[in-house]
Every structure is written in C-alpha cells, then in structure tokens.
Amino acid sequence: MYEIVKHIDFCFGHRLIDYQGKCNQPHGHNGRVEIRLASDTLDDMGMVADFRDVRHSIQAWIDEHLDHRMILRRDDPLVEAIEALGQHAYLIDNNPTTENLARLVFEQTQALGFPVIAVTLWETPDSYATYAPEPVSHGVNGRNATEQAVTRT
C-alpha cells in the first residue's frame, strides 16, 4: 500500500447550534486539513496522485467554498443575517463540528476522484478530528485515527 498526505491550510468560522458552551458563539479557526490518499498500485508516473492535481482540485474547492467563510448548519438563524449583508455562508445539514467538516472534505475529495482513505481536520494545533469510513491502521501521528479525542475550542 502506498500512501501520500497533503496538508491544506484555510481559515473558517463556525458555531455549534444546541450546544452548551462557548462554541455556540460565532468564532474562527486557522484550520488545517490532512488528506490521506492511498493505493495498492502506482500510476504510470509512479504516483498515488500528483500533488499538483490535489492542489488544483481539492485545494481549489476549499479555497472557493470554505476559506474565509462561516460554515453553518442550514437552519442557523445567523444565515439570514449574513445573507442580508450580501455575504454567503457555507451551509451544511449537520452541526459544523470538526468531525462533520472532516467528513465534508472527505466526501468532496472522493467526489473529485481521489483515492482518499481519511481526512483529518485540525481546528487548533492540539485539537483535531478524523473521518475515515474504514478503520485506519496507523495514523500519520502514530495513533489510531479512530481513537483520537477532540477538544472543543
């Protein structure tokens, strides 16, 4: 099995609905996604995927849709206020937790045709969540991706 990892940094805002704690206030993060691609075989160039293609597609999607955006649950009353200002939030069906945002990037990466096995979203330098449909045997950080704890920030 070959594996490559791409990090993409972006800034985003969010807040959690129906949550008791300071994360129900709008706030922002300097986030980092770690995208893990894997394949049993390599292409004609000897690659799992070209980092340039990852940058041109996944990073472009993040830049266009998530970077410097508020990411909100679709029924958040804040959506109306942001739209009234002529700005656009990125809306999702679930609470925009780190876990759900990791899954969002995973599904988008998959939809773009990359052999993604896991996506980790770092919300802060010491808090992150991973989404992987299958248990990942080893994490980049030497811990099982399914056992990592998340601290709300």
Residue closest to 102 by CA, chosen among 14, 33, 29: 33
> Whole-angstrom Cα distance, residue 57 to residue 78?
30
**Sign of the torsion formed by the C-alpha atoms of 28, 93, 115 and 62:** negative
Angle CA 50–54–55, to nearest 5: 115
Catalytic residue among 14, 23, 29, 34: 23
Of the candidates 27, 68, 88, 138, the residue annotated as catalytic is 68
User: Is 134 known to be catalytic?
Assistant: no
Distances from the Cα of 29 to the Cα of 24, 69, 116, 134, angstroms: 14, 11, 24, 28
Residue 11: active-site member:
no
Per DSSP, 95 falls in state -
Locate tokens 């759900």: which residue? 100
Give the separation between CA 66 and CA 101, rounded to whole angstroms: 10
Q: 14, 29, 34, 123: which is the annotated catalytic residue?
A: 123
Q: Which residues are catalytic?
A: 23, 68, 123
